Amino acid sequence: MTDDQDLNQLGRMTPPPPADAARRAAMQAAMRAFDDADAKKTAVQTQGSGFVRRLSSIATQLWSETMEKKLLLTTSALGGLLILPVAGYISWTMMHDPRMLAGDQQAPVTIEAPPPQVDEPKPVQPQPLPTVEPAAPSQPAVKQAPLARQMEALSSSKTVGQASPAAEKPVAMAPMPAPAVEMAQDSIAPQLPSGDRVQRFDTNPVKRVADDPVSTFSIDVDTASYAMVRRALKDGALPDPDSVRVEEMINYFPYDWKGPQSRETPFNTTITVTPTPWNQNTKLMHIGIKGYDVVPAEKPRANLVFLIDVSGSMDEPDKLPLLKSAFHMLVGKLDPKDKVSIVTYAGNAGTVLEPTEVKDKAKIFDALNRLEAGGSTAGEAGIKEAYRLAKANFVKDGVNRVMLATDGDFNVGQSSDDELKTLIEDERKSGVFLSVFGFGEGNYNDQMMQVLAQNGNGTAAYIDTLAEAEKTLVQEATSTLFPIAKDVKIQVEFNPATVAEYRLIGYETRALKREDFNNDRIDAGEIGSGHTVTAIYEITPKNSPAVLIDDLRYAKPNAAAADAKAESDEYAFFKIRYKLPNGDVSKLITTPVTKANEVSAAESNDVRFSTAVAAFGQKLRGTDSLATYSYADIASLGAGSRGDDAFGYRSEFLSLVRLADALEAKK
């Protein structure tokens, strides 16, 4: 036969679907080829420099390794064709990875195809692949994991991330456009693992009041989790369940809880008991806290230190450029006599701008505009320098705050969570507060950001868009900058005569020991001017068919105590403890929760909407209590309680619920 006849015959043949074993073997061979090539590098790339291996070297080695091992080939022509779907997919993936394209700007890549084996083996002339043009600057490229991790994800369904082998959980996947090559129905889904680092934690369990009647936790006004969930869903993937902190999703939204009348009482608490939408046999105990709203005339003077990560990993459009735009917005919101300093860190730390009054905006903006990314990440040195500058310019009775903006990728100096926790705990004794603003994806260290915020008398936000920067640093500037109370703790004691079981929704990473509540040395959360904080318990009334935990066979109840409690209509006793921003001794507020607190959920849009957000967060985490409550149910509850939505935050929430529903249906 001629070469043309060979090719025509091959073109008319229908290749069999690839076997699972063959596909896995091909993936493993490709991974080994990549690892071998990677090991030959002569220098380690600087952080953030991107992936710059040439397409031709990767493709050639992948083919060579696969062919040499003869993992898929047989002596028949059909055996030669088995590799084609997988090889086409690998080649397509490499051509569409923007980091690979950035490093290969040369001539079109030529890949040598394997020779067909029909009657007489004839070599097939190599055909050049078309040149792939990089995406236009106006269309940001989708970030993907390094190729070795892509291959690993494609050949295995196991979790890639920080989870321990004993408790593996799915990691959020970033979407990829469908390849141009047609693939078999049983092809592996083109989703890639995220390289973000999040803290693993278990969802709060149901607790029996007779055994464990007291619940204690630190309040949380962080909002980072909601923005991370939104980013994942808009990228076309369900979020990593451990990136979903339900309390941060609930507290992302402003609510119109009743506030205090004066600054002497820094906040007011509104408690309601309503039916549970997802379980007719339980109730929701809803706690709404509103902080005193400082009026402009009462705003204290601000001494702010912008601590900005300019390491190589920040050299992405959604990192340093977005960060600079965000801080431009914040400066525009400050009073002329407030002072701003700028400290940067990469391989080392340094002061870029000495304390400068905001009335000299041009000087501050110029310092921001000159920032460029490059080098390693000496976060510890940056933190120390920022605190030194803040303490040197401390404003008595004013706001003294370090504002850290980073992707959290520390790699020089103290960089472990425990080391950074100790460092921040020491620095917070100075009276300087800390705000943490996270940027970027792919190597975002959310776990470290939480450590810094929770131990530095501060808050954490994640900024993925300019709109989010405007919400956090302009619309909510006073609550972000001006604290009205610190070390705020909540403790609830449930009445075993009226409540059989309870479950705190969220706040898993904010749990405190019972004895921590009265210990003023234990750090807790902060509330800013006008801030709202919401916490929700699902409670199971006594004798409800929803009770999950059986009574103990050998328990001996105290009859006298039971009789006394039976006369009470209290569900629980609520306590909140706090310190003033400059104080060291806590104050206590207590409130009994009785049947008088029971209301119809329809009476408050805020109660119903926050309940919808709580349901959404639990659903994304895979909480069993929400197994029969659908995304459509959540959307209906949220749509019916949207109320006044001046900035469109609640409408956006409804779109995220619909996205999650569609993505869940594809699983």
pLDDT digits 0-9 by tens, 83-116: 444 455 544 454 444 444 444 444 443 334 444 4
Would you say residue 171 has pLDDT above 80?
no
pLDDT band at 22 (very low <50, low <70, confident <90, very high): low
CA distance linking residue 497 with residue 504, whole number of Å: 19
The confidence score (pLDDT) of residue 200 equals 93
Please state, for a pLDDT cut of 70, what percent of the chain lies above it: 68
Mean pLDDT value across residues 377-398: 88
pLDDT tens for residues 274-290? 999 999 999 999 999 99
The confidence score (pLDDT) of residue 125 equals 47
User: Within its chain, how far is the Cα of 129 from the centroid?
Assistant: 39
The confidence score (pLDDT) of residue 364 equals 97
Would you say residue 128 has pLDDT above 60?
no
| Measured CA angle at 227 (ends 225, 230), to 5 deg | 110
Would you say residue 513 has pLDDT above 80?
yes
Half-sphere exposure of 243 (CA within 13 A, CB side): 29
Please state, for a pLDDT cut of 90, what percent of the chain lies above it: 51
Would you say residue 62 has pLDDT above 80?
no
Would you say residue 127 has pLDDT above 50?
no
Would you say residue 425 has pLDDT above 80?
yes
- Cβ atoms of 368 and 324 within 8 Å: the answer is yes
Mean pLDDT value across residues 139-168: 37
pLDDT band at 144 (very low <50, low <70, confident <90, very high): very low
3-state secondary structure 112-171: CCCCCCCCCCCCCCCEECCCCCCCCCCCCCCCCCCHHHHHHHHHCCCCCCCCCHHHCCCC
pLDDT band at 205 (very low <50, low <70, confident <90, very high): very high
Which helix (H) or strand (E) covers residue 214, if one does?
strand 214-218
Q: Give me the amino acid identity at 513.
A: K
Mean pLDDT value across residues 241-264: 93
The confidence score (pLDDT) of residue 565 equals 56
Instruction: Report helix angle 147-155 to 83-96, nearest 10.
Output: 140
Q: Using CA atoms in the order 385, 390, 392, 397, what is the torsion angle rounded to 10 degrees? A: -160
More confident residue, 503 or 380: 503
Mean pLDDT value across residues 412-416: 58
The confidence score (pLDDT) of residue 561 equals 53
- Cβ atoms of 531 and 602 within 8 Å: the answer is no
Long-range contacts of 425-431 (CB under 8 A, 24+ apart): 425/455, 425/456, 425/523, 427/383, 427/384, 427/387, 427/456, 428/455, 428/456, 428/457, 428/523, 430/387, 430/390, 430/391, 430/394, 431/394, 431/400, 431/582
pLDDT band at 161 (very low <50, low <70, confident <90, very high): very low
The confidence score (pLDDT) of residue 77 equals 41
Would you say residue 185 has pLDDT above 50?
no
CA distance linking residue 547 with residue 208, whole number of Å: 9
pLDDT tens for residues 254-274? 999 999 988 788 999 999 999
pLDDT tens for residues 295-308? 777 788 999 999 99
Would you say residue 174 has pLDDT above 60?
no
CA distance linking residue 284 with residue 541, whole number of Å: 11
Backbone angles phi, psi at 503, to 5 degrees: -150, 120
Max Cα separation, the chain? 101
The confidence score (pLDDT) of residue 374 equals 86
Q: Of 452, 418, 416, 420, which Cα lies nearest the Cα of 434?
A: 452
The confidence score (pLDDT) of residue 624 equals 94
pLDDT tens for residues 538-592? 999 999 999 999 988 887 766 555 555 555 789 999 999 999 988 899 999 999 9
Q: Which two tokens stand for residue 523?
A: 């750090």
More confident residue, 248 or 64: 248
The confidence score (pLDDT) of residue 455 equals 86
Would you say residue 423 has pLDDT above 90?
no
The confidence score (pLDDT) of residue 567 equals 56
The confidence score (pLDDT) of residue 422 equals 85
Q: Residue 355 in 3-state DSSP?
A: strand
Cβ partners under 8 Å of residue 53, min gap 6? 37, 38, 100, 103, 104
The confidence score (pLDDT) of residue 573 equals 97
Ordered domains of the chain (ranges, CATH): 3-158 (no CATH), 207-294+484-548+566-666 (2.60.40.1230), 317-480 (3.40.50.410)
**What separation in angstroms does the CA of 356 have from each of 342, 365, 393?**
9, 11, 11
Would you say residue 139 has pLDDT above 70?
no
Query: By mean pLDDT, which of 172-186, 252-266, 455-469, 581-595 is the weakest?
Result: 172-186
Query: By mean pLDDT, which of 3-17, 112-126, 545-559 is the weakest?
Result: 112-126
pLDDT tens for residues 469-492? 999 999 998 888 888 999 999 999
| Measured CA angle at 441 (ends 329, 195), to 5 deg | 160
The confidence score (pLDDT) of residue 285 equals 98
Q: Of 92, 194, 196, 88, which Cα lies nearest the Cα of 144?
A: 194
The confidence score (pLDDT) of residue 602 equals 75
Half-sphere exposure of 604 (CA within 13 A, CB side): 22
**What separation in angstroms does the CA of 133 have from each of 97, 110, 128, 129?**
12, 16, 15, 12
pLDDT tens for residues 324-350? 999 999 999 999 999 999 999 887 788
More confident residue, 149 or 577: 577
pLDDT tens for residues 321-331? 999 999 999 99
Mean per-residue pLDDT of the chain: 78
Q: Which two tokens stand for residue 147?
A: 């190729």
Which helix (H) or strand (E) covers residue 588, if one does?
strand 587-594
The confidence score (pLDDT) of residue 600 equals 84
Would you say residue 658 has pLDDT above 70?
yes
3-state helix, strand, coil in the chain (%, to 5): 35, 20, 40
pLDDT band at 24 (very low <50, low <70, confident <90, very high): low
| Measured CA angle at 326 (ends 323, 331), to 5 deg | 125
The confidence score (pLDDT) of residue 492 equals 98
pLDDT band at 11 (very low <50, low <70, confident <90, very high): low
